[in-house]
Amino acid sequence: MSERTYPVPVAQHGAHPLLAAGSPVTLAALRRAAFDGNQWAARVADGEEAKRQAVLASACASTPGARYFGLLDPSVDPDVHGGMLLFAVMRDDPAADLLSPYARWNGGGWDTIEQEPEGYPYVELGEDLLAEALESVTQGKAGLLLRPTAPRGWLPVPQQPHALVSAGDVVVAGETEQAPVFAVVDDFDAEAVLALFRTTPGPRIEVRQSGVWKPDPGLLGRLRSVEPPKVVRVPAETVSDVLRQVDSYDTAHTVTASGVPEDTATRGVMLCLKPSPEVAEQLALQGGELPERLHVTLAYLGDEDELSDEQHEDLDDIALRFATEAGAPLKGQVAGLGLFPDAGDGEVAYAPVDVPGVSSLATSLRDHLGERGFPVRTDHDYTPHMTVGYGMPDRPEPLAPTDVEFTDLVLARGGDEVRYPFGGKALTAATTAAEKRRSGEDQQKYKRSKGGQFASKDALGAGNDKSGRAPLTPEQKQALIDYVKNGGPRPDFATEDPKTVEKRKKAAEKAAKDSKRAADKAAREQERAAKKAAADAKRATAEAERNAKAAERDREKAAKDAEARIKAQRAAKWAAEDEASRTEDEAYDIAAAEAALTETENRRSFDEKVKADYTAMVNAGATPEEATADLAQRIAAETKRRDTYDSGARRTAETERIRRMKAASAKRQSRARETSGVIAAGPPATTAIPGDLRTYWTRGKGAARIRWGVGGDFTRCQRALSKYVKPGQVDGLCANLHKLATGTWPGRGRKH
């Protein structure tokens, strides 16, 4: 049960007050150091949190509606070990497919168990505590130790216990001094701050709650008790840091106690049970609720001013009737101790109440009040308990079994009370100021008459007996004797034997219980059958969805494979065409280059021949003019030939350039048509669609809107594409898209 610790690297020694050399730290200390900005502590803490969340996700992802509980080891003494040991995690999944909804976490999965575990105390687990518990079981630990109180902050270093109380006086600051701040710390961890308070002259005690200082006179009594909580003085240089931690904790952990409000306001109205003063003295705890405030709430109705005068009068009649019909006083025991979460006044300590009849009385009373329009809460189960204290720093010892007898149904209005005796026919304790104001007279002077109206004692006659009835006359006595001997109609003044009435009442109660058990059993069987049917339907739906998705995946894969084959064939074809085109172009270019080279050689040879002839003629004695005139005709003829050749060459080159441009354009158009594809037979202008749009409408977001293969897909396609396509093209285009998406043409006589 020891808490896991983490070694501190040498580089982090002294980087934070909690990261000391040679001292491994707990996860709580790492989180504290991470909160203060230490990067190493933040990485380790985040890593542990990621592990916890991974375990939580794997354990809970498939059962979103389940509830989780932790089984507690009854053999572990909380006072010895500092808390309760959670040794197993249970799951209750109402939607489980199996007959049993219960399962136990084995560290890697859930083992279904046939029935709910019995004989173990348990606690319902929220997300944070569930993650801790699952991690503990997964790591093979003995269990998770649940501390009775979570720390609200941490001191940098442990402090020595402070002698706060000396000779009955609390240490306080002077008139000019700053009020000292003290911390109530954990008995086992002197750095764990459970509460903060300060003392001022008076003495006055103020506790830190939700970011403000609030007076708490009760804490002074606990500090002066025989066993006061462990208190240390917070060093002045760390007060602001500890205050920030406590305020941050209060902001992030605001918890409201469930159930009926326990501390009735000054003007609150409730129906409750109260023990006798002697028993209340035995049950009262030091530093807890006063004996006269101990009670068991049956129904809380809110503020007195929220009820109308008619409701107040109706409430008197309801309390009287329920008290009268309840019969004998309720007897049982009060024993043990429990805690409700802190709702602003500290943790609520309560004692369980084991008194037969209290739960049924409270349930019936609440149901009746709700039907009559009273603001009573009925959205939670009722558990009889008696609140014994608020915000007690030290967890008190469980109460020893104490016999208790509730003789009255108490109607409390603010500080006033009216007591209605159980089984009595008279209102014997109407002493409240509120009742006196409403009636104008002391209600102790009145008893209830048979008709339910108040009648004065004096109006019943001086000879009346204790029940308020007049004594029988001799004639009435004789009629009663004749009835007992001979039978016949019962005289209306005769009363039945109380034992007979009690037997009939018990028989009726037993019959009602048997009927309720049978109805509950039938309801459970019906609910189980409904759950099984729902689970079967859910499985069938899931299987159909899986098959549909598999078919869709196969369809998409086949389409992708076909498209890949077409692309490969197209690429091979285009490569061959490009190669042939390059070969043809290269042959033309070679021939043109060879012709140009030959023409260049011819021209060079002619020029050299003309120069040679000119030189020879001049050397032979001809004048330059004569030589030039003799060669002019040859030069003119060569010039004309060259012009003719150049013009033809240019014309041939331009023709080849145009041919190549036309071939390239035709290739592009052909390949564009092949890339987009003609979707189906018919005029290309009507059914052609680019490849990316085809993918969008057959396998992309457009296909998701149309939902191909689902009834009405052809109509949805017409509506979707009519925004972008001419009216005469929509039907053919949708028919082709239907063929591409589903593999079939829209069928005749079928709804699409």
Instruction: Check: CB of residue 14 under 8 Å from CB of residue 20.
Output: yes
Cα–Cα distance for residue pair 52/58, rounded to 1 Å: 10
Question: What local confidence, expressed as pLDDT, does residue 36 receive?
Answer: 75
SS3 170: strand
With 90 as the cut, is the pLDDT of residue 600 above it?
A: yes
Question: What local confidence, expressed as pLDDT, does residue 481 receive?
Answer: 56
With 90 as the cut, is the pLDDT of residue 13 above it?
A: no
- Least confident range from 282-286, 455-459, 594-598, 743-747: namely 455-459
Residues 529-552: tens digit of each pLDDT: 999 999 999 999 999 989 988 988
Instruction: Check: CB of residue 347 under 8 Å from CB of residue 391.
Output: yes
SS3 724: coil
Residues 192-222: tens digit of each pLDDT: 888 898 887 766 788 888 788 887 766 666 6
Q: From start to end of 237-286, where are the E strands? A: 268-273
- Least confident range from 576-580, 678-682, 729-733: namely 678-682
Tokens of 59: 């354990």
With 80 as the cut, is the pLDDT of residue 679 above it?
A: no
Pick from 117, 133, 113: which is nearest to 125 by CA?
133
In which band, very low, low, confident or very high, does the pLDDT at 286 lie, cut at 50, 70 and 90? confident
In which band, very low, low, confident or very high, does the pLDDT at 430 lie, cut at 50, 70 and 90? very low
With 80 as the cut, is the pLDDT of residue 75 above it?
A: no
Instruction: Check: CB of residue 714 under 8 Å from CB of residue 746.
Output: yes
Mean pLDDT of 345-367: 85
Tokens of 500: 């007979």
With 80 as the cut, is the pLDDT of residue 614 above it?
A: yes
Q: Where are the alpha helices (DSSP H) in 345-457?
A: 358-371, 433-439
Question: What local confidence, expressed as pLDDT, does residue 60 receive?
Answer: 81
Say what the pTM is. Answer: 0.29
Mean pLDDT of 244-272: 60
Burial group, residue 744, by CB count within 10 angstroms (0-12, 13-18, 19+): exposed
Q: How far apart are the first and last CA of the chain?
A: 67
For residue 292, what are the CA distances in angstroms to 390, 392, 415? 15, 19, 12
Pick from 502, 483, 505: which is nearest to 492 by CA?
483
Pick from 341, 329, 384: which is nearest to 362 by CA?
384
Question: What local confidence, expressed as pLDDT, does residue 533 receive?
Answer: 92
DSSP state of 51: H
Pick from 504, 471, 477, 505: which is nearest to 491 by CA?
477
In which band, very low, low, confident or very high, does the pLDDT at 458 lie, cut at 50, 70 and 90? very low
Q: What angle do CA 260, 266, 267 make, to 5 degrees?
A: 80
Q: What mean pLDDT is reported for the chain?
A: 76
For residue 742, what are the CA distances in angstroms to 50, 585, 680, 707, 749? 45, 46, 14, 10, 17
Pick from 39, 43, 141, 139: which is nearest to 85 by CA?
141
Q: From start to end of 304-414, where are the E strands? A: 330-336, 338-340, 348-354, 385-390, 399-406, 408-413
* Cα 700 off chain centre by: 34
Torsion of CA 667, 670, 672, 676, to 10 degrees: -160
Question: What local confidence, expressed as pLDDT, does residue 404 receive?
Answer: 93
Give the domains, in start order, of the chain with CATH numbers. Answer: 1-61 (no CATH), 153-252 (no CATH), 268-459 (3.90.1140.10), 499-675 (no CATH), 684-742 (no CATH)
**Cβ count near 165 (within 10 Å):** 15
Pick from 669, 661, 672, 671: which is nearest to 574 by CA?
671
Bridge partners of 200, per DSSP, are 204
Helical pair 691-698 and 624-676, crossing angle rounded to 10 deg: 10
